[in-house]
Structure 1
Amino acid sequence: MPPALTLGVEEEFLLVDPRTGEPAPHGREVAEAARRRFGVDLDVELVAAQVETRTAVCHDLADVRGQLHGLRMVAAETARGLGCRLLAVGVAPVGGPDLRTGSEDRYRRLAGDYRLLAAEQSICGCHVHVAVPDPETAVRVCNHVRPWLPVLGTVTANSPFARGLDTGYASWRSIVWARWPSAGPPPYFESPEHYESTCNMMVESGAAHDLRNIYWDVRPSSHLPTVEVRVADVAATVDEAVLLAALVRGLVATALAGLRRGLPAPPVPTEVLRAAMWRAARDGITGMSLDVFSGRLEPTRLLLDRLVHHVRDHLGAADLDLVRHRLSALDADGGGAARQRQAFARAGRMSDVLELLARDTLSGSETWTDEPSTPTA
């Protein structure tokens, strides 16, 4: 087996008021404070109530796990010092979407062009980057990965509540995000030239400002030598984020092996993928999903087993054990969306959901306490 591919993970987090649970528009202040206190760069997002973390290049899953834990700790402690709470959740469970957008020129342009659509993007995802040799290979790898996007989206489905109500979806974030004109599963690209012409059309139409603003669920990165998978909610826990990263890296490695052997990617129609994405967002890991190869509904867990079988030769023994262990844990608790619903069902209080999310965000850090500090000036 060739050396394991390097990878990196980006996670978006929601900042909320610890008393009300409503979005707290202090992303810029949190990012600046994290740089001063810890020397850690957090990114601000389009919506002012969010921050994003980025790992450095990782060579194995232990490195991914360690970096994600450390970044979550820094972001949460910095937010706490400013009177906020950091939550790993796909959408704000209570309150309306925070309509205040960032003050950076790029975000002002997005808000001006996309209007309320941009302002309502209070959603948090997880993006996994995996290194590939060159841009042409990246386009062809995306073709191989795209049939598995709906199944990947179920792994960290983590946004069942919005505006204090159960949406009926495991990933409401996926539904909100699908409104964006450049989001969703990408087309099947016949060649790198086809990819380039499609991107140019989207920019010309205004559906995207530039390559960075093309938000397909899998895409060649516009600024890194990677394939970027963007389909997932931010994972409730670090362990679930690591599971997602393992599966994505396995898919990219399997795709690269297939390309070396001259295997074509299955040209699943985009409309089939969109239907499968909707069903996956509704049911999550505990329900039914559309098998894009057969056109039949199957238990999502069965499709996940097929995904593991598809990539197992390119995971490595340790990574395969980790994947199987983490999937067994999801079998036991149902994942982020199911845990939120269980927390709410006990007493019908959204405050219990928020407490669960705060604990899950930093799970594995036994020394952590999350008592809100007095806001600083």
Structure 2
Amino acid sequence: MDADTATVGVEEEFLLADPETGAPVAKNVEVARTAAELGIDLQLELTRCQVETSTGVHNDATELATELRDLRCGIAACAEKNGTKLLAVAIPPTVPDKFPITDIPRYQRIATAFGMLAQEQGLCGCHVHVAVPDRENALQVSNFLRPWLPLFLALTANSAIYRGIDTGFASWRSILWRRWPSAGPPPYFGSVAEYDAMVAMMLSSGSILDKKMVYWDVRPSLSFPTVEVRVSDVPATVEETVLLATLVRATVMTAQNSLARNISAPPVSDEVLRAAYWKAARTGLDGDAVDPVHGRIMPVPDLLAELLGYVGPALDELGDQQLVTDSLAAVLARGNGAMRQLNAFRANHDVGDVVTELAAATLEGCPATTAT
């Protein structure tokens, strides 16, 4: 698979917050209506405090960055017009009053079936889609992606502060999200039939209500001919989202090259992967990582360097080697969303400082946004 066929698209979920307190605000319908008037298509999420954007299909990282930035700028203006602030944050940093469920029949069924899991949702992630030939190929590629999922999570962790306190985790969203019975890393699947049998069991058991509730962190997309990576917190900045998308794209291309040479993905055990996930959620970029393939404990930057070596030929083919190198160096120097939250919070233990930092990061690189 080459750069022309391994196209990429991104979905980002955002929190709508009170401009004064930073608390979640239930206005996704109003913000989506304003966006529609401007020709921007927003998806409504499970709770009324969230909205989701979707990019088009791209084969150029610079063009992807431009669209992501335009979407954030545009939606921020729509949010402002409705008295809210757009935050690229994976969980609300303030104490939420409640998370009202969006009045869509499917979401109401989920709320009824899953109780507090749905009512305490309010979690915002980022989903990266990379084009693949078919479902079977998507599953084979997923097996190659499984060992790298914790590293993608560590790179983009952006949920350290929740309900006004330091959670002790870089990605508290990841911990909360995995309470869902279909969330987390998928099993290693040997065939489409094996995958379909697992989904059928989940449906019959009631652990999912429909196939859209297969929430695994990498899966064949139901809507597009893509493999979809869903492990990430929504990144604090557009630069970090583009870095994630480019690394995922290059990893998919590397997997395709391995498959073309009849090389199988390493069968990482569920227990090792679970440990790697916990470690990634706990320390993010600022600590050690578990290398799921070799069982080593190593500094996150060292494992990131190994990832860059692994996907290097694909990055060269994409022409994105310098972009990734520069962006990664910037994130390691400045810190990702979780580190920015913690730095802001620890100065005065004021969650308002966290909200201010997140609001600035959300629109980093955008022109000033004002209501119209």
TM-score by length of 1: 0.96
The correspondence of residues 153-164 of structure 1 with structure 2, limited to 5 A, is 153-164=153-164
Cα distance in 1 between the residues matched to 2:253 and 2:209: 31
Instruction: Could you tell me which runs of 5 or more consecutive residues in structure 1 were left unpaired when the two chains were aligned.
Output: none
Q: Is 1:74 aligned to residue 58 of structure 2?
A: no
- Secondary structure, in 3 states, of the residue corresponding to 1:286? coil
Q: Is 1:88 aligned to residue 82 of structure 2?
A: no
**Which amino acid in the other structure matches residue 159 of structure 2?**
S
The correspondence of residues 125-164 of structure 1 with structure 2, limited to 5 A, is 125-164=125-164
Aligned residue number for residue 321 of structure 1: 322
- Structure 1 residue runs of 4 or more that deviate by more than 2 Å after TM superposition: 1-4, 96-99, 345-348
Q: Does the 8 A contact of 1:47 with 1:99 survive in 2?
A: yes
**Which amino acid in the other structure matches residue 25 of structure 1?**
A
Cα distance in 2 between the residues matched to 1:106 and 1:345: 40
1:261-286 deviations in Å (ceiling 9; x for gaps): 10001010112111110110000012
Q: Does the 8 A contact of 1:130 with 1:228 survive in 2?
A: yes
Cα distance in 1 between the residues matched to 2:28 and 2:349: 30
The correspondence of residues 303-318 of structure 1 with structure 2, limited to 5 A, is 303-316=303-316, 318=319
- Deviation at residue 153 of structure 1 after TM alignment: 0.7
Distance of aligned partners of 1:97 and 1:247 in 2 relative to their CA distance in 1, 3 Å threshold: farther
- Secondary structure, in 3 states, of the residue corresponding to 1:18? coil
- Secondary structure, in 3 states, of the residue corresponding to 2:51? strand
**Which amino acid in the other structure matches residue 6 of structure 1?**
T
Q: Does the 8 A contact of 1:203 with 1:210 survive in 2?
A: yes
Deviates more, 1:248-257 or 1:312-321: 312-321
Aligned residue number for residue 36 of structure 2: 35
1:168-218 deviations in Å (ceiling 9; x for gaps): 000111001010110000000011111111111111111112221100000
- Secondary structure, in 3 states, of the residue corresponding to 1:140? helix
**Which amino acid in the other structure matches residue 284 of structure 2?**
G
Q: Is 1:238 aligned to residue 217 of structure 2?
A: no
The correspondence of residues 321-340 of structure 1 with structure 2, limited to 5 A, is 321-340=322-341
Q: Does the 8 A contact of 1:98 with 1:122 survive in 2?
A: no
Cα distance in 2 between the residues matched to 1:251 and 1:111: 36
**Which amino acid in the other structure matches residue 154 of structure 2?**
T
Cα distance in 2 between the residues matched to 1:257 and 1:207: 35
The correspondence of residues 290-369 of structure 1 with structure 2, limited to 5 A, is 290-316=290-316, 318-365=319-366, 367-369=367-369
- RMSD of Structure 2 on Structure 1 (CA): 1.4
**Which amino acid in the other structure matches residue 278 of structure 2?**
W
Cα distance in 1 between the residues matched to 2:307 and 2:119: 36
Cα distance in 2 between the residues matched to 1:229 and 1:316: 22
Cα distance in 2 between the residues matched to 1:86 and 1:32: 15
- Secondary structure, in 3 states, of the residue corresponding to 2:108? helix
Distance of aligned partners of 1:279 and 1:107 in 2 relative to their CA distance in 1, 3 Å threshold: same
Instruction: Could you tell me which runs of 5 or more consecutive residues in structure 2 were left unpaired when the two chains were aligned.
Output: none
Deviates more, 1:174-183 or 1:201-210: 201-210
Q: Does the 8 A contact of 1:178 with 1:184 survive in 2?
A: yes
- Deviation at residue 98 of structure 1 after TM alignment: 3.2
- Deviation at residue 332 of structure 1 after TM alignment: 0.9
**Which amino acid in the other structure matches residue 328 of structure 1?**
A
- Deviation at residue 369 of structure 1 after TM alignment: 4.3
Aligned residue number for residue 274 of structure 2: 274
**Which amino acid in the other structure matches residue 190 of structure 1?**
G
1:57-90 deviations in Å (ceiling 9; x for gaps): 1121111101100110111000000000000001
Cα distance in 2 between the residues matched to 1:96 and 1:33: 24
Q: Is 1:11 aligned to residue 12 of structure 2?
A: yes
Distance of aligned partners of 1:63 and 1:97 in 2 relative to their CA distance in 1, 3 Å threshold: farther
TM-score by length of 2: 0.97
The correspondence of residues 47-126 of structure 1 with structure 2, limited to 5 A, is 47-96=47-96, 98-126=98-126
- Deviation at residue 292 of structure 1 after TM alignment: 0.8
Q: Does the 8 A contact of 1:127 with 1:228 survive in 2?
A: yes
**Which amino acid in the other structure matches residue 104 of structure 1?**
I
**Which amino acid in the other structure matches residue 335 of structure 1?**
N
Cα distance in 2 between the residues matched to 1:362 and 1:288: 30
- Secondary structure, in 3 states, of the residue corresponding to 2:285? helix
Deviates more, 1:311-320 or 1:268-277: 311-320
Cα distance in 1 between the residues matched to 2:101 and 2:276: 31
Cα distance in 1 between the residues matched to 2:49 and 2:95: 12
- Secondary structure, in 3 states, of the residue corresponding to 1:83? coil
Distance of aligned partners of 1:137 and 1:283 in 2 relative to their CA distance in 1, 3 Å threshold: same
Q: Does the 8 A contact of 1:14 with 1:89 survive in 2?
A: yes
Q: Does the 8 A contact of 1:48 with 1:98 survive in 2?
A: no
Q: Does the 8 A contact of 1:97 with 1:121 survive in 2?
A: no
Cα distance in 1 between the residues matched to 2:44 and 2:82: 16
- Deviation at residue 348 of structure 1 after TM alignment: 2.4
- Secondary structure, in 3 states, of the residue corresponding to 1:316? helix
- Secondary structure, in 3 states, of the residue corresponding to 2:94? coil
**Which amino acid in the other structure matches residue 180 of structure 1?**
W
Cα distance in 2 between the residues matched to 1:253 and 1:194: 24
